[in-house]
Structure 1
Amino acid sequence: MPFPQFDRSRLKLKPLSERIHDLTLDVMMQPTDPAPSFENPDLPTIADRILRAREAGSAIIVMMGAHVLRKGNALLLIDMMKRGLISHIALNGAGVIHDFEFALIGATTESVPRYISEGQFGLWTETGYINDAMVAGQRDQLGLGEAAGRMIEEGNFPYKEYSILAAAYKLQVPITVHVGIGQDIIHEHPNLNGAALGDTSYRDFLIFAESVRRLEGGVLLNIGTSVMGPEVYLKALSMARNVAKQEGKSVCHFTTAVFDLIDLGPNYHNEAPKTNAAYYFRPYKTILVRTVQDGGESFYIQGDHRVTVPSLYHQLISKLEEK
């Protein structure tokens, strides 16, 4: 006897035009904006490693949470893709939603306290179009990131120039989406097809794992994702190393960097004890310690994404102009 399930047909969705948006395109930073006042002695080294990886044809992977986009970094990331300074972007499900809404209406982000009390949080018609992109992606054997990017790039999206999904699709840079079922607002919608969600996001995981196979001599940045980033990377790296070992190769000599807000102290190259709450911060033990212990090197950049990401961007542009 199956358990009863929620009847999604009873839900009432409203148009985005009726939602109060907390963010607009005013938040977007331009590549021509001056570099922010932020200094970290490791940023020039990370920039050098990225440039070296580009010259070697190794992977330059950026894994990030949605707040990186909400802080206005989209145009900087797009410019980095155009310059070959990013070879792969990995997002969580929320990242796709914010990127999609920025491209469609030039605004995003709703107040949870405002809308959860009336049962309207997340239930906005147009955002559910992403679910339609999944179905088309499953049909055409695309990953979720490419399918959403195609919808934005080829559709009527007035602000698509701000979309990293559309830019990646146009530039043919892999952009993958790694979802947790039930974690994103579009999973509330009646038009979600669970099979399409699983198919397109799992295909993205395999695309990501293939990029990790090219991480030898490369760089992986984990920016503002404390669960999706380290967990997806860990499994993909194990797969990549398994195949590399069979071929007499290695995926061990690469650079990782974590950009986040938590104060890890100066000794972040050694794993914290289980009695320390920092032990349970996955980017610390996974990205800064365990996966680079066989020949890699890691860095931690603490600060707001509106400052740290532009600072890295301007370091890269400055070094390119010096050449």
Structure 2
Amino acid sequence: MMNKEKNPYKPIDLSGIKTYSIKTRDNKVNISEHFAVAPTDGMSFLDFYERLPRLLGADSLRGVVDAVVNAREKGRPVILAMGGHVIKCGLQPVLKALIEADVVTAVAMNGSASIHDFEVSLVGATSEDVGAVLHSGDFGFSEETGGGMNRALREGLEQGIGFGEAIGRRIIDNDHLHKEYSLLSACVEKGIPVTVHVAIGTDIIHQHPEFDGGVTGEMTARDFRLLTSVVADLGDGGVWLNVGSAVLLPEVFLKALSIAQNLGHHVDGFTTANFDMIQHYRPLQNVVKRPTSGSGRGYTITGHHEINIPLFAAAVLEKTGKR
């Protein structure tokens, strides 16, 4: 049965509302401090960059750029950690410019990034159409990629080097036709740490008959220890940039940082940033928030790598005078 009691509520009377003048109000956005300046004919990139709004993502980008510039002025490391999609966005020339300009001082990759880098250096192309070849049993079985990289790892094992250096050296020694597009070889030639961090079974080169789990495990373990040494030197103004890795490299970074702290390095006062199209849980926690909760600063830059990374790189190179 319906409740026949009278509804006690009536529309509220607004006539007693008190108002105030907008001129007396504190505002978070104003035209003199925060608004963009319209582009003008013939303006330089730095003019364009400086005229971006002093708000939100644009200000976060400025914060990361300034942290990187300040780090290099103080001789502190700038570590680039990256996933495979960054390579597939065609950003090797941009990132290589940062390496050659002594802006990026160490590079860490997941396994897919190393594979895409290797393939681009070899044939000038990468990223097969998985859906088109998966059901035919052909996905991931190119001989040049799987055979070449696994043989390079075995040779690197005997030479006492790690995963990243072994692949970079193979690209150089075999004179890959497009080696100028390789970040692995650029790091080897520059003499900076380059590390590759893999989980067994995640990458196409693990499908090949020449794959050896013991070799791969040892090679990526060597790189983990090398990266941890670099992370131990991150304090007092260094920068960690996580670009396009949602799980693996944020976890590697957290463990490397934990080891460094455990050994007494007391890494603090550094900056982190996560560049990605979506802000995921692990980068936010393991890169942006937890590591910088003491005296550091973390930033999130959300958007497409193929837009944000060139903007970031151009601003850094302009401000360091190394464009």
SS in 1 for 2:240: strand
2:257 equivalent in structure 1: 237
Q: In structure 1, give the amino acid aligned to 2:287.
A: I
SS in 1 for 2:233: coil
- Is 2:305 the partner of 1:305? yes
Q: How far apart are 1:322 and its partner, in Å?
A: 9.4
- Is 2:58 the partner of 1:40? yes
SS in 1 for 2:316: helix
Distance 1:108 1:293 in 2: 39
User: Structure 1: which 5+ residue stretches go unaligned?
Assistant: 1-33, 265-277
2:274 equivalent in structure 1: 258
1:20 equivalent in structure 2: none
- Is 2:101 the partner of 1:78? no
User: Residues 118-137 of structure 1: matches in 2 within 5 Å?
Assistant: 118-128=136-146, 129-137=148-156
1:161 equivalent in structure 2: 180
- Is 2:77 the partner of 1:59? yes
Distance 2:266 2:319 in 1: 29
Q: In structure 2, give the amino acid aligned to 1:160.
A: K
Distance 2:255 2:321 in 1: 37
TM-score in terms of structure 2 length = 0.80
Counterpart selection for 1:190 from 187, 209, 224: 209
Q: In structure 2, give the amino acid aligned to 1:222.
A: N
Distance 2:175 2:100 in 1: 23
Q: How far apart are 1:176 and its partner, in Å?
A: 0.3
SS in 2 for 1:108: coil
Deviation above 6 Å: which 4+ runs of structure 1? 34-39
Distance 1:160 1:306 in 2: 21
Task: Please say if residues 98 and 317 of structure 2, whose CA atoms lie closer than 8 Å, have aligned partners that are also in contact.
Answer: no
Aligned Cα root-mean-square deviation (Å): 1.9
Higher relative contact order (CA 8 A, sep 6+): 1
Q: In structure 2, give the amino acid aligned to 1:253.
A: G
Deviates more, 1:55-64 or 1:88-97: 55-64
Q: In structure 2, give the amino acid aligned to 1:308.
A: N
- Is 2:164 the partner of 1:148? no
Q: How far apart are 1:57 and its partner, in Å?
A: 2.1
Task: Please say if residues 101 and 322 of structure 2, whose CA atoms lie closer than 8 Å, have aligned partners that are also in contact.
Answer: no
Q: In structure 2, give the amino acid aligned to 1:210.
A: S
User: Structure 2: which 5+ residue stretches go unaligned?
Assistant: 1-44
Distance 1:284 1:158 in 2: 39
SS in 2 for 1:41: helix
Task: Please say if residues 81 and 107 of structure 2, whose CA atoms lie closer than 8 Å, have aligned partners that are also in contact.
Answer: yes
String of CA shifts for 1:117-166, please: whole Å, max 9, x gaps: 10110011100100011001100111100000000011131000000011
String of CA shifts for 1:162-191, please: whole Å, max 9, x gaps: 000111111111110000100000000001
Larger Rg: 2
Q: How many residues align?
A: 270
SS in 1 for 2:136: coil
Q: How far apart are 1:81 and its partner, in Å?
A: 0.8
Distance 1:59 1:189 in 2: 36
- Is 2:129 the partner of 1:93? no
Q: How far apart are 1:60 and its partner, in Å?
A: 0.7
Distance 1:103 1:224 in 2: 21
Distance 2:316 2:175 in 1: 33
Change (3 A) 1:121 1:283: same
SS in 1 for 2:58: coil
Q: In structure 1, give the amino acid aligned to 2:294.
A: D
TM-score in terms of structure 1 length = 0.80
Distance 2:320 2:69 in 1: 8
1:285 equivalent in structure 2: 285
2:314 equivalent in structure 1: 314
Q: In structure 2, give the amino acid aligned to 1:307.
A: I
Question: Matched residues, percent identical?
Answer: 38
